Amino acid sequence: MHERSNSGQRLRRQNPPNRPTPASRQRSASPTPAPSLSSLLQRHSVNVLPTASVMVKTGSKTFETAALIDPCTPVNCIDASRAAAFRLPTTSVGDDKVCNATIQSKCGTTKMEVVFKVEPKKCRRNHHTLLHMHERSNSGQRLRRQNQPNRPTPASRQRSASPIPDPSLSSLLQRHSVNVLPTASVMVKTGSKTFETAALIDPCTPVSCIDASRAAAFRLPTTSVGDDKVCNATIQSKCGTTKMEVVFKVEPKVGIRTPTRTLNDAVRTKFKGIQLADERFYLPATISVILGADVYPKVIQWGFLMVDKGLPVAQKTVFGWIISGASHQP
């Protein structure tokens, strides 16, 4: 019997269950996801976005809250849950929900009536909300194409005509004013070649980014950082010797339209006496490059100019003066 037991022990020793050794435990552990570009940049620096503590007056009540001061958001907006907490009555303007409130400064007597677009909290990704504007418009176009009714005959067109959709908040506000986003014409150096392009100067975009098609057109070599595609290039001013190395996050689609329509000559002449960062700021163009908060301290300079009431303002940068704000015109 001892032979049987010994033989059983030998079998158990020869065929022990698979127990991972300490060395194999590390190999079998699930891989740690690679850090994103934002997290890598945040290891040695922290981006601070421009905010202000303001008083929101709603009827008989006053609330204190922090507000982001973003020159690149065309319409003032508020989170739906915050609007509900402030008990702001909302109304529908086309497909948009809007509300209004009185905003007051804590350190002065300044008051202003502000119309807010009520936004649901959908995307939590670390980028500018303007990057989603093309998705809304494209999705609407796809739905219209997919659900296109049979083309009516000339006699039936009047009977089958669909009702005209209500205008959105943005289109209503743009009837008497045109929003201008701060842009600069910059030189992008990629090896032996140099390209000229317009860039949005946005302190509220945490990481500088570029449209994937524009990066391909500039032949910028890309690499992967976690789930992100990144590239780098040298940005140079057209009106000086300023150069800076910029790491760009490559986005599938960056297409920001500014302004929505051409500004009249009266607005353009107000800014003739200064060196403009973008001499074509008054003409509608699609911007595919954003210089964000990661390089903003290197871009901005001391200097702020208000030329007239109801016109955009000018701010000095290493690229020249950038123009931003609402331009009220007939």
pLDDT category, 127, cuts 50, 70, 90? Answer: very low
Whether pLDDT at 276 is above 80? yes
pLDDT of residue 240: 80
With contact defined as beta carbons under 8 Å apart, do 68 and 49 qualify?
Answer: yes
pLDDT computed for residue 132 by the predictor: 40
The predicted structure's pLDDT at residue 15: 53
pLDDT band at 260 (very low <50, low <70, confident <90, very high): confident
- Residue type for position 225: V
Report the alpha-carbon distance of residue 34 to residue 247 in Å, rounded.
18
pLDDT of residue 112 exceeding 70, the answer is yes
Residue whose C-alpha is closest to residue 119's, from 153, 87, 75, 157: 75
Of 89, 135, 141, the C-alpha closest to 115 is 89
pLDDT, residue 316, reads: 97
What average pLDDT does this structure show over 184-192? 91
Q: Which two tokens stand for residue 311?
A: 């016109």
Domains and CATH numbers, the chain: 51-119 (no CATH), 178-328 (2.40.70.10)
The DSSP code for 62 is: E
Model confidence pLDDT, tens digit, residues 33-52: 666 766 666 667 788 889 99
The pTM score is 0.72
Residue 258 contacts residue 284 (beta carbons within 8 Å): yes
Q: Quote the CA–CA distance of 214 and 218 in Å, as a whole number.
A: 6
